[in-house]
Chains A and B, each alone.
Chain A
Amino acid sequence: MPDKPDRNAIEVVNVSKIFGSGDGQVAALDTVSVSIRENEFFTLLGPSGCGKTTLLRLIAGFDFPTAGEILLYGQDIALLPPFKRPVNTVFQSYALFPHMTVADNIGFGLEMLGKPKAEIKARVAEMLKLVKMEALAGRRTSQISGGQQQRVALARALAPQPKVLLLDEPLSALDYKLRKEMQIELKRLQHETGITFIFVTHDQEEALTMSDRIAVMSSGKILQVGSPRDIYDRPAERFVADFIGESNFLKADVVGVSGGRATVKLSSGTEIPASLPDGFSPSGKVTIVVRPEHAQLGGASPSASLSGTVENIVYLGTDTHFHLRLAGGEPFIVRRQNSRGAGDGIVQGGQIGIMIGSDAAQVLKD
């Protein structure tokens, strides 16, 4: 990942959004703060109803925050109407104007900005080329496929050269293969245009592949902000670990803490090192998380951290999932990459040791 300048494109400061009034009040966002850097591909990730779309709509100007500030390059835009913000949106449903051609759709923003005709024409041609839609410029938007509509929506939002581009689950309506293609395409567009992208999705894979940084949201709060690797390898909370990828959760007791790392004692009595979330200093009982591919199987050797019974072996081609049951009754999954050749003698019902490496375990905040 190239170094990003440290300038913030968007700063969200203590923003709350409450819908309804009286007993029907719903806090869609609860004192959320986050900074989005210039030129960054930033993703808001979370399940439906977590407030990610609300946050996007506040930045776009379709809704206004109940409290807090939204700064665009230092200027508070929280209460500006959408047509006064140099921010454009790619809608989930694309929202292309059905009474206009592809080219007219792309040129709409520039036309509204009062740009000269010649400039609009040139820019539209440039955008059509960027999204590879030159051949369909004169088509009505109802006469093109979903993937093509997606490209037009992108071109339309990029044409006025916004300072920030907002994308509201733009790939959710596409089929799997097209979605994969568009993920790469979006990354390319972001790179070529140098515009800050804020991308909303509930698809963890999409978030991990495309983003420079991800904010994981749940129930109107941002739980963790970090690079995809940070979020995956060092989840701070159980929700984050659970929502992104597969996880093994284990109960443990903190034995000692030093320099951002802890030593925890597992139920089996083994002590292992575990990393800590930033600025978190636990004591007593905690939950630790171990990703299935970060644990190894190791016969029944005494050096193993844990031991369990093999309940199920699922062969998946590239790798195999071993579903284990620990001595204490908890489930544990180990994923191992397959190599060509015969099996390794692990059989269903057998006892097996599990080794957790020195950097495989992570203590969770809750």
Chain B
Amino acid sequence: MATAEEVAKAAERRDVRDRWLLSAPALLVIFLAATGPLLIVLIYSFLTPGPYGDVKWQFSPDAWLSVFMERDIFDDTLSLAAAHVTIFWRSIKLAVVTTIATLTLGFPTAYFMATRSEKTRDLWLFLITIPFWTNLLIRTFAVLQIIRNEGIINTILIKLGIVSTPVQILYTDTAILIGMAYVYLPLMVLPIYASMEKLDFRLVEAGYDLYATRFKVLRKIIFPLVKPGVIAGSILVFIPALGAYVTPSVLGGGKNMMLSNLIELQFGQGRNWPLGSALSITVMIIVMVALLAYVRNAGKSGVRHG
């Protein structure tokens, strides 16, 4: 005869087993799509590069060393890999500037959309999402057409007599910035809009009523309340901007290498898969550290959400 305790224990065991069975498909997908590939990248970063790409199954810390260091080919001493540091710095700077640029443009846009009547709001939302329907490469080439020396901007500037020779925008960091800001703007607008739409505009009226000027209302009431949207938008822009490949290649002309180009190089002509893997993971770590710092800072500055 089983005691009540034993029955309960058996039932609990069954329960636990069922739970695992039921969540198995989800766990499988998570493993295959996210954890598994990441694990492979991590393992590869500790192996030796093969002569024709691929890897040799032999442990080596070299890939990780050469992320920031380089070994002198004559005396084997290590020194800072200036080229890598420059590329990292340039990419991070560009991602930060892109985030700031999209925030500056996206915040007023989202505010504008959220303050329209309910019917027109949907139209604006639709217009904002239209670019997503077009291939990224095509959108990037469209920007190229606008900013190149014979493009719209330069033609107008010359016709107006403001400049006599075309302003070189294409193949500069400015070109990359313009392209990235354009491509990632919707990713900033949409989350801010989502927050802004939920904003109770009676609070804005209350602010005006209590002697807050328009700027003060924006700073003291609107901004703190839509901050979750601003944080989400910044994350959504910063991450892909740091790893952007197409836009810097097309608009930067490959002159100034970005992180993505550097990583691509390792898997292509460089034939150094372990270094590519190590670089990829380094980018992930940078993103994670940056986000943690950002979210923690944004959450601190005077705003306590209930």
Residues of A within 8 A of B (CB): 60-62, 81-83, 87-89, 91, 93, 95-99, 108-109, 112-113, 140-143, 156-157, 160
Contact = CB atoms under 8 A, between A and B. Distances in A.
A88 B205 contact: no
Contacts, number: 69
Contacts of A160: 210-211
Contact of A60 (B209, B224, B225, B306): B209
Contact of A91 (B206, B221, B306): B206
Nearest to B223: A99
B211 A91 contact: no
Q: Is the interface of A mostly helix, strand, loop or mixed?
A: mixed
A112 B210 contact: yes
A62 B211 contact: no
A168 to B, nearest CB: 10
24 contacts: A62-B209, A83-B209, A83-B212, A87-B209, A91-B205, A91-B206, A95-B202, A97-B203, A97-B207, A97-B221, A99-B224, A99-B225, A99-B304, A108-B207, A109-B211, A112-B211, A112-B212, A113-B211, A140-B304, A140-B306, A141-B306, A142-B306, A156-B210, A160-B211
Given A83-B211, A109-B210, A99 B205 contact: no
Contact of A99 (B206, B208, B305): B305
Interface in B197-253: 200, 202-203, 205-213, 216, 220-221, 224-225
Cβ-closest 8 pairs across A and B:
A109-B210, A95-B206, A112-B211, A82-B208, A142-B306, A95-B202, A140-B306, A112-B212
A83 B206 CA distance: 10
B43 interface: no
A53 B232 CA distance: 38
Size category of the binding interface on chain B: 20 to 34
Nearest to B217: A83
Most B CB contacts (10 A, CB to CB) among A60, A81, A109, A143 go to A109
B303 A99 contact: yes
Nearest to A62: B205
Contacts of B203: 95, 97-98
Contacts of B211: 83, 109, 112-113, 160
A160 B203 CA distance: 17
Contacts of A61: 208-209
B200 to A, nearest CB: 7
Given A93-B202, A99-B303, A112-B210, 15 more contacts: A82-B209, A83-B212, A83-B213, A88-B210, A89-B206, A95-B203, A97-B206, A97-B207, A98-B306, A112-B212, A113-B211, A142-B306, A156-B210, A157-B210, A160-B211
A176 B212 CA distance: 34
A161 to B, nearest CB: 12
Contacts of A82: 205, 208-209
Nearest to B212: A112
Nearest to B302: A99
Contacts of A113: 211
Interface in B282-306: 303-306
